[in-house]
Amino acid sequence: MANSKLLNLSTLLLFVVFNTAASGEVFIDDFDNVATLSETGNMSDSPDPHWWLNSGAYFYRANGIASTVTGELSGIDRFRLLYAASNPIDTDNGYRPQNIFRLVTLGKFKNFTQQVFFNIKNINLSASPNRNQSNGVLFFHRYQDGKNLYYAGIRVDGFAIVKKKSQGRYYELKSVAVYPGAYNRETLPNLLPVNRWVGLKTVIADTANGSVDISLYLNDQQLGPGWTKVLEIEDTGADIERILTPGYAGIRSDFMDVNFNHYEAAENQN
């Protein structure tokens, strides 16, 4: 199992977790404590000092591994009933709320590096029309709210992607094919590795000319040893204004059961 540290952190920081809500500099979560985080409607209501579970019902953590809901919730689970009433299409009548998993940090970042290792355990072949090639495992960057943020990650069609969402509208900044194959919703609904740990890392920073540079790296034995840069894009604001203010970080996954290991978010060292 991968447990790498960000290269630009000092030796001291490798062993210390800072509360980003207080420091705004470094947050490391090894998911060592046994706990279940339940979804809340508002960030201010989250019982966790570091995370807000925006959707997905539950976020489990124990002994270095965290996970979305795996399989189906009980028919009488309160979130099963709530999702059955509010969004039955995307959550398979509430039984799989992990189909729309959204986990957000409580600390804000601006120019920072974000990293996690993920292991897809199952692709949920929901009948929802929103199960499509754009699904995947992605990071949030400079998250202002659900309608204004950057996304970067890897999709089930095998593409690495960077998107900007502004006033609820998506703008694709760049996509690059990484994993081979021709995605098909019915016959080949996933090109990403399953039951194997893969590292996802992004670096976002303002540039001297006022643009926003975003780089995406993968750590996967299929691509070679260590971290492989698979995508870099400079957002010049040509389509819609850049997001230049600090915002929250976090993780999104779609229509899958996923495990996570060793999350980091750290302001870049100049």
- Tens digits of per-residue pLDDT, 161-188? 999 999 999 999 999 999 999 999 999 9
Range in 19-23, 121-125, 131-135, 243-247 with the lowest mean pLDDT = 19-23
The alpha carbon of residue 70 and the mean position of all alpha carbons in its chain are separated, in whole angstroms, by 17
Does 24 have pLDDT greater than 60?
no
β-pairing, 35-38 vs 247-254, is: unpaired
Decide if 184 contacts 178 (C-beta within 8 A).
no
Decide if 249 contacts 114 (C-beta within 8 A).
yes
Q: Give the pLDDT confidence score for residue 10 in this predicted structure.
A: 34
Does 21 have pLDDT greater than 60?
no
Task: Find the distance separating the first CA and the last CA of the chain, reported in whole Å.
Answer: 30
Nearest to 205 by CA among 218, 214, 192, 195: 214
Decide if 143 contacts 248 (C-beta within 8 A).
yes
Q: Give the pLDDT confidence score for residue 269 in this predicted structure.
A: 83
Would the pTM of this model clear 0.95, i.e. be above it? no
Cα-atom radius of gyration of the chain, to the nearest Å?
18
Q: Give the pLDDT confidence score for residue 25 in this predicted structure.
A: 86
Phi, psi (degrees; rounded to nearest 5) at 90? -75, -20
Q: Which fold has domain 13-267?
A: Jelly Rolls (2.60.120)
Q: Give the pLDDT confidence score for residue 1 in this predicted structure.
A: 52
Q: Give the pLDDT confidence score for residue 235 in this predicted structure.
A: 97
